[in-house]
Structure 1
Amino acid sequence: MSRLFSTRPGDDGLPGPERRLAVLALILGTTMAVVDTTMVNLALPSIAADLGVAPARAVWVTNLFQVACAAFLLVFAALSELVSRRRLYVAGLVVFAIAALGSALSRSLETLLVFRTLQGVAAAATLSIGPSLYRSIFPSRLLGSALGLSSLVVATGYAIGPALGGVVLSVASWPWLFALPVPLALGAVGLAWKALPRETGRRGGFDGPGAVLAMTMLASFFWAMDRAGDGGSLPEALAGLAASLIAGVGFVARQRRAPHPLLPLSIFRSPRFSLAVLASGLVFVGHGLAFVALSFLYQQGMGFTPLETAWLFTPWPLTIMLVGPLAGRLADRVNPSLLSSAGIALLMAGLASLAWLDAEAGVLDCLWRTALCGLGFGLYQPPNNRELMASVPAERSANASGVMSTTRTVGQSLGVALVGACLAAGVPIQATLWAGMAATLLAMLASLGRVGLAGEAMRARRRAAAERVQ
């Protein structure tokens, strides 16, 4: 860990001692958003009973948060260039704290939904630019290690969120789950304002029409995936997809002619960036699909209780916590594409082993298979994120960060929708896991394509060096 805060002559980013407070601000902000989401899911039955609403309506406490967050990721990534990432990050934390307090004090579902939507918008402000802030805080030589730390923070949040939520609900009512992040957010505000890099926003306009089209595209897509994966009607899902497609076509057309595009399409001209984005999206399809499919497999197929199922999931995030930082550190020294390809191969092996689980399998049979998935995912993510962030110019890192966050969200929602579609079609739940493995296979091909690009670049450098010698 001390290596992350070492300083060498010529380092870009913040000086070593200043990195500690800046990283702590990012850790607090990320942990707050991740833990909040995982805790609230546990409280939905209590919220429905206490507010006197149907459980299906209470689900929107989570859904609206996710839709709002997904819709604003690209918008805030672009807006950060105008107002500076530091100011946007701090504003997101402040609004999150206010909305969390409002959620805790809500006494009707309608009021709660308003504040949860506001929380989703605020979370988008922090999550959309988090990876790009790591790039501006750390020198390029430590980017992989920094993103490995980021994956450790996210995995820790997913690991402790359900347990923390269960503890809180065992001694207090559900409003305390929303009140819990408030002091954490306020502490992060002070740290972020003091420690995050100070920047001057660029001059120029903001692509308002592009922002509207991006929000419509992403919100409609997320709505369609929710309808497809949560038992909604097929016409609703198709209508959402159609609206998303129309808005997406309009968004691309707008970005090609906008004087200050919300998302400069030029960043996709880098094959390294485009392949890293494609691999990320496909892996998160498999990730989102596996998490939902395994819940059904463990409980309905194998007879485990919900609490036992929660414990069976823990090897996944715990393994990421152990492997992620090491993978990030290795990515600073070894070809990141090779590492991420190896990680995808292990994830595929884990998903295949889960698909072959027998209904009479024991706890240990489930645990090592889930741990293998976590091992693969932990080895894949930091190197792939490093490749994604490092393959664009530094001035486009906020845009790349927004694309990374959006790709993750879209991929996971598509994976969840695939489970719902398979269940509706009567497909056995273990067969559904093979769909996740197919997505990761495609991700493997994209990652191997980057390995080929890296090899070609190395050969080109060698040829150039030989020509200079001659």
Structure 2
Amino acid sequence: MILSTIVLVVLDGAIANVALPSIALSMQADAGSTVWVVSAYQLAVLVAILPCGALGEIYGARRVFLAGVALFTAASAACALAGNLPVLVVARFAQGLGGGAIMALAMMNLRAVVPERSLGPIIGVNAMVIAISAAAGPGIAGAILSVTQWPWLFAVNLPLGAIVLIGGRLLGKMERADRQLNTRALLVNTLMFILFFCGTERIATAPVTGVALIAAALACLAALLRLERGSRTPIIPTDLLAEPAFRVAVIASVCCFSGQMLSYIALPFYLQHSYRMSPVLAGLYMMPWPIATAIIAPISGRLANRVKTAWLCATGGTLLAFGLLIIGFAPSDPHAIAFLTGTVISGFGFGLFQTPNNRILLLSAPKARSGAAGAMQGTARLLGQTLGGISMSIIFTLLPISIALETAILTASACAAVASVVSLSRGRYEVAGKA
């Protein structure tokens, strides 16, 4: 049931991009305005994920998780019924708030019902489900749009959301934290992510404004840390970040997801520019990456109980870096065999890295702080993907496309290599399967 809600959120993020042209045509909106259908969702997830982790610890992971599912489902109905673009954007923002609660508390709910020794395989299955959902999203969206209108892309969420809400009582319970949410800290956290998101959106087109907004976001971060100084359970989990295993896992995750996002943006351009492929064919050539990730993720989860996380993550990061180098710098061939080989290796490396890294991040936190750990896991992923997107925008702005694509692939490989090195640094204090 928990995995089904993750499918719900991942699929919704994947299919919305495909629907943008149809939405723009239906609502007679320009492309720039329509992009906010995607951006509003992403912004809401960023704003919600850390506070929802804290709310789950205070009021119960099950209660807040199901509230997120209810909000996500209701907002999906509002999206399907939206008659104009502003209403759709607001509904998408509400969807993102619900999605943030789901992402933050999925792992906390899993930890309540799954023995710790089984967490590795379960997290592996979770990674497999995410990979398959992300890969299938565009195809599902295309199939739906081929027979009906875009509102049905959101309406399909309603039955699954209802099933999860009906079965919600099956979720386990965890002890609640004896504390209250700091309202001022919550407001500063919200402002911080809004400024950061708006700054990253403008960094390529208006660098001065973008840098100023990001600087303001950093000032909010400093204020937030000062507000929560001395708190045993802060919104930004500085108590958990003080633990070496948790801190290393977060840093490595940011680096790995930065490389992944750079790759996912650059590679379709690379295929269409260097190999003269159509967008449809380029999409097919991208498929081996998520397929390879889906295959290796559950295997990696089982290995995590027997092999040191440092070794598994370092190997995964190295494979990801090596696969990207093959893609970008192997001699070209008519059938793009080198590209396919590189994407398979990259996909295996990404899956081999993510499962043990996420497992050790979760297990490094006490059960009572599982909400904060799950929220930080999601934040690390979103932050890495955002940094990857910023890097790609800057590279495209500064360099001609042929040089920009090679630079982006090399940068993505370097990010994966850094994730590998960072992961190795925890080997001196780690035992197999533990932090």
Give the TM-score normalised by structure 2. Answer: 0.95
Q: Which moved more, 1:37-46 or 1:422-431?
A: 422-431
**Residue equivalent to 2:93:** 117
**Residue equivalent to 1:276:** 249
**How many Å apart are 1:454 and its aligned residue?**
1.8
**Residue equivalent to 1:333:** 306
> Are residues 1:366 and 2:331 paired?
no
Out of 169, 175, 178, which is 1:203 matched to?
178
**Residue equivalent to 1:409:** 382
State the distance in 1 between where 2:179 and 2:370 align. 18
Q: Please say if residues 205 and 260 of structure 1, whose CA atoms lie closer than 8 Å, have aligned partners that are also in contact.
A: no
Out of 193, 212, 235, which is 1:218 matched to?
193
Q: Percent identity?
A: 29
| DSSP 3-state at the match of 1:155 | helix
State the distance in 1 between where 2:320 and 2:237 align. 32
**How many Å apart are 1:341 and its aligned residue?**
0.9
Per the alignment, do residues 358 and 60 of structure 1 end up closer, same or farther by CA in structure 2, a change over 3 Å counting?
A: farther
> Are residues 1:442 and 2:434 paired?
no
Which amino acid in structure 2 is aligned with residue 80 of structure 1?
Answer: G
| DSSP 3-state at the match of 1:266 | helix
Which amino acid in structure 2 is aligned with residue 202 of structure 1?
Answer: A
> Are residues 1:107 and 2:83 paired?
yes
Q: Please say if residues 45 and 99 of structure 2, whose CA atoms lie closer than 8 Å, have aligned partners that are also in contact.
A: yes
**How many Å apart are 1:365 and its aligned residue?**
2.7
Out of 207, 217, 241, which is 1:234 matched to?
207
State the distance in 1 between where 2:32 and 2:230 align. 43
Out of 172, 182, 197, which is 2:158 matched to?
182
CA deviations over 1:411-468 (Å, ceiling 9, x no partner): 001101101100100142112111111112211111000112226999xxxxxxxxxx
Per the alignment, do residues 115 and 455 of structure 1 end up closer, same or farther by CA in structure 2, a change over 3 Å counting?
A: closer
Which amino acid in structure 1 is aligned with residue 113 of structure 2?
Answer: I
Matches within 5 A, 1:77-88: 77-88=53-64
Per the alignment, do residues 234 and 33 of structure 1 end up closer, same or farther by CA in structure 2, a change over 3 Å counting?
A: same
Q: Please say if residues 256 and 265 of structure 1, whose CA atoms lie closer than 8 Å, have aligned partners that are also in contact.
A: no
Which amino acid in structure 1 is aligned with residue 199 of structure 2?
Answer: A
Q: Please say if residues 214 and 251 of structure 1, whose CA atoms lie closer than 8 Å, have aligned partners that are also in contact.
A: yes
State the distance in 1 between where 2:395 and 2:317 align. 23
CA deviations over 1:315-338 (Å, ceiling 9, x no partner): 111111110000001101221221
**How many Å apart are 1:225 and its aligned residue?**
2.1
State the distance in 2 between where 1:239 and 1:394 align. 39
**Residue equivalent to 1:142:** 118
Per the alignment, do residues 183 and 456 of structure 1 end up closer, same or farther by CA in structure 2, a change over 3 Å counting?
A: closer
Matches within 5 A, 1:356-395: 356-358=329-331, 361-395=334-368
What RMSD over aligned residues (CA atoms) do the two structures have, in Å? 1.8
**How many Å apart are 1:302 and its aligned residue?**
2.2
Which amino acid in structure 1 is aligned with residue 240 of structure 2?
Answer: I
**Residue equivalent to 1:345:** 318
**How many Å apart are 1:201 and its aligned residue?**
2.8
**Residue equivalent to 1:321:** 294
**Residue equivalent to 2:26:** 50
Give the TM-score normalised by structure 1. Answer: 0.88
State the distance in 1 between where 2:345 and 2:430 align. 27
Which amino acid in structure 1 is aligned with residue 187 of structure 2?
Answer: V
Matched positions, count: 431
Which amino acid in structure 2 is aligned with residue 227 of structure 1?
Answer: R
State the distance in 2 between where 1:357 and 1:420 align. 25
**How many Å apart are 1:361 and its aligned residue?**
4.5
Q: Please say if residues 143 and 332 of structure 1, whose CA atoms lie closer than 8 Å, have aligned partners that are also in contact.
A: no
Matches within 5 A, 1:57-68: 57-68=33-44
State the distance in 1 between where 2:306 and 2:136 align. 31
**Residue equivalent to 1:312:** 285
Which amino acid in structure 2 is aligned with residue 324 of structure 1?
Answer: A
> Are residues 1:40 and 2:8 paired?
no
State the distance in 2 between where 1:454 and 1:82 align. 31
**Residue equivalent to 1:20:** none
Which amino acid in structure 2 is aligned with residue 121 of structure 1?
Answer: L
CA deviations over 1:134-189 (Å, ceiling 9, x no partner): 22221111111111111011111111111100100111111111111111111111
State the distance in 2 between where 1:419 and 1:391 align. 33
Q: Which moved more, 1:113-122 or 1:235-244?
A: 235-244
State the distance in 2 between where 1:36 and 1:353 align. 32
State the distance in 2 between where 1:457 and 1:39 align. 36
Which amino acid in structure 2 is aligned with residue 203 of structure 1?
Answer: D
Unaligned runs of 5+ in 1: 1-24, 459-470
State the distance in 2 between where 1:417 and 1:202 align. 37
State the distance in 1 between where 2:241 and 2:100 align. 22
Per the alignment, do residues 455 and 90 of structure 1 end up closer, same or farther by CA in structure 2, a change over 3 Å counting?
A: closer
**How many Å apart are 1:312 and its aligned residue?**
1.1
**How many Å apart are 1:259 and its aligned residue?**
7.0
| DSSP 3-state at the match of 2:277 | coil
Q: Please say if residues 246 and 360 of structure 2, whose CA atoms lie closer than 8 Å, have aligned partners that are also in contact.
A: yes
State the distance in 2 between where 1:316 and 1:208 align. 42
Per the alignment, do residues 197 and 373 of structure 1 end up closer, same or farther by CA in structure 2, a change over 3 Å counting?
A: same
CA deviations over 1:362-381 (Å, ceiling 9, x no partner): 24332221111100001111
**How many Å apart are 1:239 and its aligned residue?**
2.3
